[in-house]
Amino acid sequence: MPMLPCHTCGSDEPHRELNPSEKDWLKDRLVKRNVDNYRMCDAPGCRHVRTGFSPCAGHGDQHIRIPEPD
């Protein structure tokens, strides 16, 4: 897992690719067809989303977090 800066944690943290249900949630949230370039912070309790190129998810909302699974 790559270590990337996390906007929420304020430090470099492991980030992972999204699973299919997380991708579906983010597609609806961002109204996008493709979210393959997004990564999620894997630090305990964080789940902040970023693109591979930016520490934020973009679209004016810099603090998108994937909800915990049910």
In this prediction, residue 7 has a pLDDT band, given cuts at 50, 70 and 90, of: confident
- 2 torsion bin: left (phi>0), alpha (psi -120 to 50), beta (else): beta
Read off the pLDDT of residues 53-66 as tens digits, 9 standing for 90 and up: 666 665 555 688 99
Read off the pLDDT of residues 24-46 as tens digits, 9 standing for 90 and up: 999 999 888 999 999 999 999 99
Q: What's the predicted TM-score (pTM) here?
A: 0.82
Measured from the Cβ of residue 57, the count of other Cβ atoms closer than 10 Å reads 23
